[in-house]
Structure 1
Amino acid sequence: MDKSLPPGTVTLPELLKKRGFYTAVIGKFFHTVEYADKQLLAFDRIESYAKPPGWKGPGPILTFPPVKRVPRDPAPKDQKSKEYRQWRARNSDRYGDSGLAPEEEGDYRNAQIACALLKEFSQTKKQFFLSVHQSRPHTPLVAPKKYIDMYDPAKIPDPPAPPDVQSSLYPRRVTVGNPDIFMNRQPTPQQVKEAIAAYYACVSFVDSNIGMILDELEKQGLASNTIVFIMGDHGFHLGDHGFWSKYSMLETTRRAPLWVRVPGAPANGQVCRQFVEFVDFMPTVGGLVGLDLPTNLEGLSFVPLLANPSQPWKKAVFMVENENNQVVRTRKFSYLEFKKGPVPAALFDLEKDPWETVNLVDDPTFAKARQEMAELLRAGWQAALPDQAASQRKE
Structure 2
Amino acid sequence: MRKTLYILIVGVLAFYGCDEKPKEQALNTTEVAEFQQPNIIYIMADDLTTQAISAYGGIYKDIAPTPNIDRIAKEGMLFQDVLCTNAICGPSRAAILTGNYSNLNGYYKNESGGKFDASQWTFPQEFQKNGYQTSLFGKWHLGTEPKGFDVFKYHNSAGQQGHYWNPTYNENGTNVKEKGYATNLSTNFAMNWLEKERKKDAPFMMVLQYKAPHRPWQPDKKYEQLWEDIEMPYPATFNDDYKGRELTAGDTEMTMEYFSRRDMKFEEPAHLKGKEKLKWAFYGAKKGEVVQPEGMTAEEGRKWRYQTYIKDYLACVKSVDDNIGRVLDYLDKNGLTENTIIVLTSDQGFYLGDHGFFDKRFIYEESLRMPFMVKYPKKIKAGTVNEDVITNIDFAPTLLDLANIQTTQKMQGKSFKSILEGNTPKDWKQAMYYHYYEFPYWHHVQPHYGIRTQKYTLAHFYYNIDVWELYDLEKDPQQMHNIINDPQYASIVVNLKAELKELMKKYENDKSLADFRMITDKDFGSIVDKKDDETSVQDILTNKK
**Which TM-score tier does this pair reach, normalised by the shorter chain?**
0.7 to 0.9
Name the SS for the 1:376 alignment partner. Answer: helix
Contact map agreement 1:151 1:197 (CA 8 A) in 2: yes
Q: Is residue 2:205 matched to residue 1:129?
A: yes
Match of 1:369 in 2: 492
Shift of 1:170: 3.3
**2:484–2:493 CA contact under 8 A, matched in 1:** yes
Corresponding letter in the other structure for 2:250? P
Q: Which residue of 1 aligns with 2:72?
A: none
Name the CA distance, whole Å, in 1 between partners of 2:229 and 2:120. Answer: 47
Task: Tell me by how many angstroms 1:131 deviates.
Answer: 0.6
Q: Distance in 2 between matches of 1:383 and 1:331?
A: 20
The equivalent of 2:126 in structure 1 is 15
Equivalent residues of 1:376, 1:383 under 8 A apart: no
Shift of 1:266: 3.6
- Contact 1:45/1:58, CA 8 A, preserved across alignment: no
| Residue 319 (structure 1) aligns with | 434
Q: Does 1:224 align with 2:344?
A: no
Q: Which residue of 2 aligns with 1:29?
A: 140
Alpha-carbon deviation of 1:152?
5.0
Q: Secondary structure of the equivalent of 1:271?
A: strand
**Residue 192 of structure 2: aligned partner:** 116
Q: Which residue of 2 aligns with 1:360?
A: 483
Q: Is the 8 A contact 1:22 1:44 kept in 2?
A: yes
8 Å CA contact retained: 1:107, 1:133: no
1:163 partner amino acid: D
Alignment of structure 1 residues 232-271 onto 2, 5 Å: 232-271=346-385
SS of alignment partner, residue 237 of structure 1 = coil
Where do 1:322-333 residues align within 5 Å? 322=437, 324-333=447-456
Q: Alpha carbons of 1:341 and 1:308: their partners in 2 closer, same or farther (altered >3 Å)?
A: farther
Distance in 2, matches of 1:354 and 1:207, equals 28
Q: Distance in 2 between matches of 1:253 and 1:341?
A: 23
Give the drift of 1:45.
Answer: 0.6
- 1:222-255 per-residue CA deviation (whole Å, 9 max, x = no partner) reads 2221111111001111222232111222111101
Query: 1:356 corresponds to which letter in structure 2?
Result: Q
181, 184, 192: which is aligned to 2:306?
192
**Secondary structure, counterpart of 1:326 in structure 2:** strand
Question: What CA distance in whole angstroms lies between the structure 2 residues aligned with 1:153 and 1:380?
Answer: 50
1:265-319 CA distances to partner (integer Å, 9 max, x unpaired)? 1423322111111000011011111223245311111111111167764211222
Q: Provide the C-alpha distance between the structure 1 equivalents of 2:136 and 2:120, rounded to a whole number of angstroms.
A: 20
In structure 2, what is the equivalent of residue 164 of structure 1?
Answer: 241
Q: Assess, with a 3 A threshold, how the Cα gap between structure 1 residues 290 and 231 changes in structure 2: closer, same or farther.
A: same
Amino acid at match of 2:187: A
Aligned to 2:407: 293
CA contact (8 A) 2:132 2:204 kept: yes
* Local SS of the residue matching 2:348: coil
- The DSSP-based 3-state class of the residue aligned with 1:223 is coil
Q: What whole-Å deviation, never above 9, does each CA across 1:79-128 have from its counterpart, x for those lacking one?
A: xxxxxxxxxxxxxxxxxxxxxxxxx2111111111111111366532321
Structure 2 residue runs without a partner (length 5+): 1-93, 95-103, 108-116, 158-169, 264-283, 291-300, 439-446, 508-545
Aligned 8 A contact 1:267 1:309 in 2: no
Looking at structure 2, the residues matched to 127 and 200 of structure 1 have their Cα atoms a distance apart, in angstroms, of 34
1:173–1:242 CA contact under 8 A, matched in 2: no
Q: How far off is 1:49 after superposition?
A: 4.2
Structure 1 unaligned regions, length at least 5: 68-103, 385-395
Mean CA deviation greater in 192-201 or 153-162: 153-162
Question: What letter is aligned with 1:171?
Answer: G
Instruction: Give the match for residue 378 of structure 1.
Output: 501
Please tell me the residue identity of whatever aligns with 1:328: I
CA distance in 2, matches of 1:3, 1:360: 34
CA distance in 1, matches of 2:437, 2:220: 36
SS in 1 for 2:385: coil
Length, aligned pairs only:
337
Aligned 8 A contact 1:178 1:244 in 2: no
Compare relative contact order (CA 8 Å, sep 6+) and give the higher one, 1 or 2. 2
Q: 76, 100, 106: which one pairs with 1:4?
A: 106
Root mean square deviation, CA, Å: 3.4
> 2 CA distance for matches of 1:310 and 1:223?
25
Distance 2:415 2:191 in 1: 29
Q: 1:189 to 1:59 in 2, by over 3 A?
A: closer
Shift of 1:331: 1.2
Which is worse superposed, 194-203 or 226-235?
Answer: 194-203
Query: Counterpart of 2:401 in 1: which secondary structure?
Result: helix
Write the letter of the residue equivalent to 1:357: M
Percent identity of equivalent pairs: 26
User: Which of 415, 422, 429 matches 1:308?
Assistant: 422
For 1:183, the equivalent position in structure 2 comes to 285
Distance 1:188 1:263, change over 3 A: same
TM-score by length of 2: 0.56
Matched residues in 1 for 2:190 and 2:454: separation?
38
What secondary structure does 1:228 align onto? Answer: strand
Distance in 2, matches of 1:43 and 1:183, equals 37
CA contact (8 A) 2:133 2:198 kept: no
The 3 A distance-change label for structure 1 pair 136 and 8 is closer
- Aligned partners of 2:485, 2:354: CA distance in 1, in Å? 23
Q: 2:469 aligns with which of 338, 346, 371?
A: 346
For 1:316-343, what per-residue CA distance to the aligned partner results, in whole angstroms no more than 9, with x for missing partners? Answer: 1222112851121111111111112555
Cα deviation, residue 264, structure 1: 0.9
Question: Does the aligned pair in 2 maintain the 1:24–1:129 contact within 8 Å?
Answer: yes
- What amino acid is aligned across from residue 298 of structure 1 in structure 2? Q
Distance across 1 between alignment mates of 2:505 and 2:382: 28
Q: Which residue is 2:458 aligned to? A: 335
Please tell me the residue identity of whatever aligns with 1:164: D
Whether contact under 8 Å (1:22, 1:129) holds in the other structure is yes
Question: Distance between the aligned counterparts of 1:129 and 1:370, measured in 2?
Answer: 44
In terms of mean alpha carbon deviation, does 160-169 or 234-243 score higher? Answer: 160-169
For 1:175 and 1:49, locate their aligned partners in 2 and report how far apart those are by CA, in whole Å: 25
Alignment of 1:45-60 (within 5 A): 45-50=151-156
